[in-house]
Amino acid sequence: MDFLTKICADETVKLYVNRRLVVSSVLMALACSILIYLIFSRIKGVNGVEEMILLIFLAAFVLRPFFRLLNVMPTIELRKEGIAYRGDFQPWHAVFEAEVVRSKFKLASNGRLMLYTKIKDKKELAWDITAYDSNIDLAELLKLIEFCTDEFGQKEVDSGTVSTEKPVNASF
């Protein structure tokens, strides 16, 4: 893997929005919108005001996934120190568990990568990364995150940078 060598060489791996998936989502929304418009205009016989409301709703339905293409910043950054998702950073030792959740209805969703951390010994959802947010497959991203968690997360814990002790309050 090219990503593993970059991370091990202390470089930052930047993952951007999956443009192919966004374009296919926009085209699917456009096709559904045209179908809905034709059904309502032919069968129900909408008047001018109802037609304008329907067109505004359908335009918002089509343009919502299109706005993901405007994101030119990396959505996910992987480094030796940790992972950053949309600017929010977590060190590798904080990542407790990661799993890919696939949708039962394949046309509605392409899956999600759930990253969990531990807060007060309870499993907490840190990030819900959608398939649109990564230009590599979520299963590959999961393998990459698991490798980095095993490789770099334990080094930080073993080196003593993580302290579980509470700070002593010196004020009386």
Q: According to the model, what pLDDT value does residue 166 have?
A: 38
In this structure, are 65 and 98 located in the same domain? no
pLDDT < 50 positions in the chain? 157, 161-172
Instruction: Residue 129: give the domain boundaries.
Output: 81-158
* Domains of the chain: total: 2
Answer yes or no: are the C-beta atoms of 52 and 41 closer than 8 Å.
no
User: How far out from the chain centre does Cα 109 lie?
Assistant: 12
Which residue, of 6, 40, 70, is where some domain finishes? 70
In this structure, are 152 and 88 located in the same domain? yes
In this structure, are 56 and 121 located in the same domain? no
Q: According to the model, what pLDDT value does residue 155 have?
A: 60
Q: How many helices (H) and strands (E) does the chain have?
A: 5, 7
In this structure, are 90 and 153 located in the same domain? yes
Q: According to the model, what pLDDT value does residue 43 have?
A: 75
Q: According to the model, what pLDDT value does residue 34 have?
A: 92
Q: According to the model, what pLDDT value does residue 30 have?
A: 92
